[in-house]
Amino acid sequence: MTQTISINNSQHLQVSPLEIPSRLLLGPGPANAHPAVLQAMNTAPVGHLDPAFLALMDEIQSLLRYTWQTENELTIAVSGTGTAAMEATIANSVEPGDVVLVGVMGYFGNRLVDMAGRYGGDVRTITKPWGQVFSLDELRSALQTHRPAILALVHAETSTGARQPLEGVGELCREFGCLLLIDTVTSLGGVPLFLDEWGVDLAYSCSQKGLCCPPGASPFTMSSRAREKLQKRQGKVPNWYLDMNLLGKYWGSERVYHHTAPINLYYALRESLRLIGEEGIENCWQRHQQNAEYLWERLEDFGLTLHVEKEYRLPTLTTVRIPEGVDGKAVAKQLLLEHNVEVGGGLGELGGKVWRIGLMGFNSRKENVDRLLEVLEQVLPK
């Protein structure tokens, strides 16, 4: 029923109950949340210091360690989206004047550059054309040149669909005495990740992609090496909300009030991580790979070209070149408005050149690939 709300004597607002179309979200994120996750989110909130909630926070920590394959004690969820967790890694590791080397191979590398600069880092960059990745030799020679305190890389560059291999990078960082900071926003839960084996010191992610959860509670982790740097820093972390010295006391045994956690989002995150545990993280990775390979085959059979070389393609996010003469934006709009299927457009340098198709978390299923191809065939000119 529509209601009229009077804002003042001359302004009136017509408001009806919430009505949102049901969409299949096959873009760069958010992906559709798992129904069990939405159900968990619907549980009545308790207090943020309630023993039942504190126990749930402990479970989130353990399940996150499993999902990331790490034993880092300081493994938590930041209240905020992936960007907040990204900022938490930078705020807690970069001290003014620190050389921060960022590997830029897409849009999110540039965001790291901007952020590290704002925290006083002496930021240096190495770059790759969008869609390519860095070799170990290129990283070694950049570390030799710049001698950074921190090397920051994006594992899964959502703007290009490329997966940066990380094997051996942690050893290089140890050789050159620097920390390794990794963006796993589009990889956690969908792409193999072995943080400890790979020697990653700081990592962050989001809830709305591979974890099949709504956005707003974002994984963060920090190794003991990174915590040592934090303990030795000269000044305070210049961001109160994201200071791990304070947040660690809420998530750790002291349980000191820090902020009112978004209780229901943490219910959702806990359920999504439980579902991953139930499926088994290796099975999850395998499912993402199999469905992505099926998508790639179907797209190529349809005559479309994929932007990234197969070896470095992300199973969670595929970039497809928009054929010459096709209005990519118009196609995406038609898919959304006429068929309720969302795909993403290109970002930054790839704007207007590619579509971005996500198969993440709960959405990584064969039937979704079939549905996408069915509607693409109807919308794309032959």
Residues found near ligand PLP in the complex (CB under 6 A): 28-29, 81-83, 86, 108, 154, 158, 183, 185-186, 206, 215
Q: Residue 28: in which H helix or E strand, if any?
A: none
CB nearer to ligand PLP: give 51 or 348: 348
Spatial contact of 216 and 262, defined as CB atoms under 8 Å apart: yes
Cα(288)–Cα(31) distance, rounded to whole angstroms?
A: 13
Tell me the CB-side half-sphere exposure of residue 323, using CA atoms within 13 A.
12
Residues 6+ apart with CB under 8 A from 259: 79, 241, 250
DSSP character at residue 252: S
CB nearer to ligand PLP: give 176 or 344: 344
- Least Å from the CB of residue 29 to ligand PLP: 5
Strand duo 150-154 + 179-183: pairing = parallel
Other CB atoms closer than 10 Å to residue 309's CB: what's the count?
A: 11
CB nearer to ligand PLP: give 86 or 94: 86
- Least Å from the CB of residue 92 to ligand PLP: 17
- Least Å from the CB of residue 209 to ligand PLP: 7
Residue 85: C-alpha distances to residues 79, 260, 268, 315 (Å):
8, 17, 17, 23
- Least Å from the CB of residue 374 to ligand PLP: 27
Spatial contact of 81 and 218, defined as CB atoms under 8 Å apart: yes
- Least Å from the CB of residue 183 to ligand PLP: 5
Cα(280)–Cα(71) distance, rounded to whole angstroms?
A: 17
- Least Å from the CB of residue 256 to ligand PLP: 26
Cα(148)–Cα(144) distance, rounded to whole angstroms?
A: 9
CB nearer to ligand PLP: give 31 or 139: 31
Cα(259)–Cα(264) distance, rounded to whole angstroms?
A: 14
CB nearer to ligand PLP: give 108 or 198: 108
CB nearer to ligand PLP: give 152 or 375: 152
CB nearer to ligand PLP: give 86 or 180: 86
- Least Å from the CB of residue 155 to ligand PLP: 8
C-alpha gyration radius of the chain: 22
Closest residue to ligand PLP, judged by C-beta, is 82
